[in-house]
Amino acid sequence: MKPAPFAYVRPSSLSEALTALGEDPDAKVLAGGQSLLPLLSMRLAQPSRLVDINGLPDLDHVDVTDEGVRVGALARHSAVLASAEVERVQPLVTLALRHVAHATIRNRGTTVGSVVHADPASELPAVLALLGGSVDVEGPRGRRTVAAEELYVGPLETSLSHDEIAVEAFFPALGPRSGVAFEELARRHGDYAMAGVAALVEVDGDDVVSASAGFFSVCERPTVVDLTCAEDPGEAALAELEPSADIHASLDYRRQLVRVLTPRVLAAATEHARRRAHG
């Protein structure tokens, strides 16, 4: 199937892009296009205008400091994945990106685009939510920062206004006594996950002082659950989640995957935290 007709503009500055976006309430931003173009081809999305931001300067950065990782809107998955500094400062981003689709898609797809596309089956929204990250957006009212907990409002839906452009995502650094782990189950590597879990654990000596898990491809939006005091992490997670069925997994199977994956990923994150804490 071919996309419905649409206008196309490729601005050379952020102000031009915001103007083009604000002029048309049915316009969409095009960055990597690896999420948007399939929707266009299936006519699940029919924007009247595409605003291609690939001509904008200074948006392809991957900046790493002791505070965390900042990824520009045009930084490709492959560039973030290739960064040894990203893996050192926030290894959960690297762990998740290894599961994102295939190399060809990672070479074109953008990390920020994946974050704001808000696909409940995507890895990076869950990672951003679990880490307490944020997204910086530019709009007609200036620049603002949107915390991950305020970003996701439904499947493929964020709290961003139609005339705003996400320009950067921020993933906080991993603390010295913290550890992370990540696992997803798909029929084939690169397929949509039937369920996935990311975990973040902090320890004091051998004692776990906090433990939380971010779930994707389970509910209608990425969901973080505090499991610090859970005796049975899988059942404790299910008590807070609202799993849904789709073509990839039935409700019962998805619930069982949560039961199996949650304690396994938490255990791996705990071991990672203890190794880091002990040097």
pLDDT at 91: 98
- Asked whether this chain's domains 7-55 and 178-277 adopt the same fold, the reply is no
Q: Residue 133's closest CA among 161, 155, 111?
A: 111
Q: How far is CA 274 from the centre of its chain?
A: 26
Longest Cα–Cα distance in the chain: 60
Query: What architecture is the 7-55 domain classified under in CATH?
Result: 2-Layer Sandwich (3.30)
Q: Where are the beta strands (DSSP E) in 12-105?
A: 27-30, 49-52, 62-65, 68-72
Count of residues for the chain? 279
**Distance in angstroms (rounded) separating the CA atoms of residues 268 and 279:** 17
* Residues in the chain, pLDDT under 50: none
pLDDT in tens, 105-146: 999 999 999 999 999 999 999 999 999 999 999 999 999 999
Give residue limits of the domains in the chain: 7-55, 62-172, 178-277
Query: What architecture is the 178-277 domain classified under in CATH?
Result: 2-Layer Sandwich (3.30)
pLDDT at 1: 65
Q: Residue 54's closest CA among 12, 26, 16?
A: 12
Query: What architecture is the 62-172 domain classified under in CATH?
Result: 2-Layer Sandwich (3.30)
Q: Residue 110's closest CA among 221, 12, 35?
A: 35
| This prediction's pTM | 0.96
**Distance in angstroms (rounded) separating the CA atoms of residues 246 and 99:** 20
Residue 58 contacts by C-beta under 8 Å, 6 or more apart in sequence?
Answer: 72
